[in-house]
Structure 1
Amino acid sequence: MMKKIITFFYFSVCIYLINGCTKPFDVPPANDTLTIHANSTIRQLKLLHVKNNFERVTDDLIVSGVVIANDQSGNWYKQIIIQDESGGIVIRMDGNNLFANYPVGRKIAVKAKGLYLGDYGGTIQLGAGIDNTDPNNPTLIPIPIALLDKYILKGNFNNEVKPKLVNINALSVNLQDTLQSTLIQLADVEFAENELDKTYADAVGKQAANLTIKNCLGNNIILRTSGYANFASLKIPSGNGYLTAVYAIFGSTKQLLIRDTSDVHFFKPRCGNTSISKITIASVRKSYNGMPFSYNEYKSINGIVISDAGSGNIPDNEMVIQEDGNLPGILIRFNSMHHFKLGDSVSVQLNQSVLTKENGSLFLKNMDTTAVIKIAESKKITPRLVSIQQLYDNLINWESTLIQLNYPMLNGNLWNQTVQLSDASGNIDVYTYPTAVFYNSAIPSQTIHKLTGILSARQSGAAIILRNLNDIELLTGGNANLSNAIYLNQSPLLLNFDDIANRLPIGFFVYTNAANNSLGSLANFNASKTSWGNTTGGFKNCASANGLSANATSTQQDNTSNRAIALRQTGAAGGFDPGAAFVLHLGNTAGKKNIQLTFQLQSLDVNSARTTKWTVEYGLGDNPTTFNSIAATGLLSSGNSQFGSQVIQINFGALLNNIPTEIWIRIVTKAATSGTGSRPVTAIDDVTLSWE
């Protein structure tokens, strides 16, 4: 069939661009939400195309889709691919670094009227016109950069397109195959055995490569990679697993293209081989006897990522994992940048990796990111509480694990490579990489309560690597964002709440819906001064009962600087009756014993006839699900038409001695108020913690 030769649009574009040089072009801001809706699907648009022809879209067709591939890795050039529920399509754009405006996951809408459909080897594309430079081989013109915002509207980010699991045999070279230009996934596939020594492409000669992907039934398909891809020089993995890719056709060839190597998860044994055996990180470390050790068998280790690639204080191709329970850890060095996050629980396949030591540090190298699979996220390793001398004494066993020091001192002004840290037992270096986001930022001058980091072995001895600045927890006067807990420094510690118009004290919270197995829901606190008689339910800033009488006016209450955290219980939904709680959050009691708590429990509204019963409880851990009650000296009740303050004393004895984890102490009402009439206004004031 003779190709339609259409050139008018092309010349119009050229004239537009020339005129555009005489005045600035205002790029509209990116939209968070698309203000225009699709009236057609991508499949309906593609059905307008006949193979080897060019069709100008004359109807007001609008399609929308999510970006599934772009030019970020270099495996696509001047094009993005979008997908909706019906299919996908290539959009050609005459620009570089398209990923900056069209990242994977961004939703866009395309106003197709005036654009052209064509195909490249059978893969349908959308562009701006026809290039007839070679009359025997006309091609589709990319949309000029100046016209992108005319035809393409940018929407919100982070939309997920899940790849469709397919069999190799389900793919066809049909022009209108609905899987064309969509994200697909193949399971239980591997590279052909005769190609295992190859790289993805020729990065030196910038030549593309076609590699064979096959399944265990012998079916195969081509994986094509550009020589300009930033992963072209990487060696392909030898294992078996699943592959995520964009499906394309070229003539009679079915082919796949990957965004980057994170799309290749070949971590299982090859077809016909035995299964992977799981070993411990400790056994890996013991395998080193002074010479590099290569893993030629299919073995794996599990661990939790304790390094933070996002902060930049570790090379972007390295991560540290550790087994939970103060067990060993190991440094892993990949062949390329990885995307695993602090707290990810991962399984690492060791086949073809090498255990070696350089500059005093033991690590695994020759690792591909595809050898790692994320099992879960947001896992937490509890750091080992240590002294500096203990770090030196146990360096071999504790290297690449999370450690914590109490009350260390930093000798320096800036986080700039090596800074000396000291405690009563000795000195150690804290090392900051120049790539860290906090490099050259100021070291806090306040007293440090806790410093957490990764113990690193060096040729000269040992060093500590911070994950990020949240690893520095200050006692007082520092950035409140560094800690949301109370740290016991000098006994006694007094919280008098006189500054609650600005904020609640660090480590003090109010909750509703508290239950036997739950802290409940973090509640709002009204920092505005409120009178005792105010009947609106909630936690409030009220005058303390100390120094005032029951009939004090609202003005007198507002004028006193002695404030208390108060609660007006209500019967309406909200978790106040029962379920309200005043909560103290302690970071730990490491090195402390004989913890004692004293506070004033106040009844503020004499017109409140109901009675509230209170209980003092404690729970351990980040988010405790078990709470233990503790006996108190003093009457733990409020209301009953009373006004005044009573002192409550709690002696924890040995219950909270030297606890390394977080501790939650709460004053909670778990039973409904008794009696009739108004519910009480109950306040807490002058909380004192003491210890030895």
Structure 2
Amino acid sequence: MKNYLSFFKILFVIMASFVVSGCVHDDKYTDPDLTGYGCAELVKTKTLEEVKALYTNQTYVFPENTTDVIEGYVSSSDETGNIYKTIFIQDARENPTQGFVISVDAVSTYTRFPQGSKIYIKLNGLALGTYGGLVQLGVKDMAPGAAANGVARIPEKMVATHIFKSCEEPKPIVAKTMTLAELGTANDRFLGCLVQIPDAEFDAKVLCSVFAPAGTSVDRQLNDPTTSVTTRVVRNSGFASFANQTLPSGKGTFIGILSKFNSSYQFYINKLSDLADMKHFPRKDGITSDPCGITESDYTMKTVSEVKQLFNGSLTQITANHLLRAKVTANDETGNLFKYVYVEDATGGIRVNINKTDLYRDERFRVGKEVYIKLKDLYIGNVNGELQIGQPFNGNAGQIAEVDVYKHFIDTKKPATTVVPTERTIAQLTNEDVGRYVKIKNVQFIDADLGKPYASGTTTNRTLEDCSGSKIFLRTSNFASFSGVEVDGGKGDIYAIVSKFNNDYQLWIPFLVNADFDNPRCDGTVPAVYTTIFSDGFDTLANWTAVNIEGTQVWSTTTFGNPRPSAIMDGNRMLNEDWLVSKKIAIPSTFTDAYVSFETDGRFSGNPLELYVTDNYTGTVGTTNWTKLNPGLDTDLNAFSGFVGSGKVNLKSYLNKEVVFAFKYTSVVGSSTTWEVDNFAVKGTK
């Protein structure tokens, strides 16, 4: 029996929204629909424990005519943006015995259901399923290929008719005290509850970094004195209001929502003030004071040039309390650099070796950021003619251990700014330029390198020349995202890092766009003009066949594109293998050269998209002998920030043949990149 005590008419003004054209996604949240929200008192007919027990490895749908109601107390808040389209509840404000997860297609739910409020949920028409093994309440997922045990979010219009706030005033939730050692199957009933972990500390490997890079969700390991298990993490959203704040470096009481993804226990922070106690020292790992603050006057400031002068002819330890402040000019974003960055100030640049992958995701090592480097106990060595900073390895400057990164690299908290190259000619380069980001005008690849990819199976040297005949190597890793792209045949300006190997100067480009040569060559030769053999803007997938090998997600199209629409594949953080196979495309014998190109826009960390080609498609992807191509891909996965060209991927060996292309998408549990593909084209020249 319902006893409605009051109804509130909620008025709000809908502001006119601006429609932004183009190919960049709009990541802003829309205003919530508050129509119909008031307060009510319903009668609970089932406990949270009874409802969760109804799930048995397959989606359970509550009958439309059921009158069952559950009640709970909201343990979460999405006010800071760290929790997204999810409401966590527990069965008591203090000493709960059960927690639960409600998946809703609505944001700013804290305005309707603030933390500590009592809510009722009518179960008719809703459904139970799992995501990452966590049982939650939603609606049956009707999308093609939907998982048999999954659910979709409760549509916002349904929230008003299924979730009701009690008329009693919200009261504080008392966090349940647990230790990390207590996390296990026996206590999974507390998933969704607000818990506190005494004497908690973030792992030393992530100290002095921010909660999350902009636009990207990351896990930060949490430790306490009761266990050394590493599968206890705090999951932080790059859209949280505190994402760019530095993690607390001390120990103390951590407060957050307990959750789980498969075998890894996760915590979600409601608000930064819940971590206010994590300021005490010494820590469990022996750190005695905050390592993340810095006062320049406590150090002797050094320039890059002065740091290089510390080298005494062999591997040199820096024993004095020196500090270098420099701007990051290149990192590992495209895979052309690996486990090192270049930094630069007005006096020069230098390579810094760090035993950590995905450095570009760390706020301190973003291109354009100024970083403090505490030099004491680091080393400077001459590695094949290039002075580098690191720690000892095989008698020279190797990589700084990941666990020591916090000891040496401190964010200046200044915003990233444009990296301005130093302009040079090839003939002007000297040892003073090694480590610098430079611009060299009017260069071209030598004739012998035309038609070749940047890298062929291993790290490769290509040769650049200017119109005076001066030459220099351009070195590209076979792991670079653009390694398989054919070099441009024209002339242009190159933006690159100068390095040295023995007596040879060489260049490294951080991005493919840094070597865009479209102007006539030195001898006046105009780069070849290509005509289109086949093109597809992915208005539909009529020219393609989606082949599902594993997982429930499949290739489809989306309204985003360059211009709209485009093909899309999203693994939803589940195990997937999906192919998108083209129709047969004939490359005429009258052409002397051909290439394939396309554009990608990606988001979220996961496996790279792969492109394959064959001239003998059997009709089955598993029995076809494919050749893997190596196009350039979007490397900025922090957000849908715009489509990136693949470059020209050479097809010269497929002239006078019918070919089939295939995009191969893979993802694993807990990690999946959403890939959008547009403007696929095969072109040739006679």
Q: TM-score, normalised by structure 1?
A: 0.38
Larger radius of gyration: 1
Q: Which of structures 1 and 2 has the larger relative contact order (alpha carbons within 8 angstroms, sep 6+)?
A: 2
Q: TM-score, normalised by structure 2?
A: 0.38
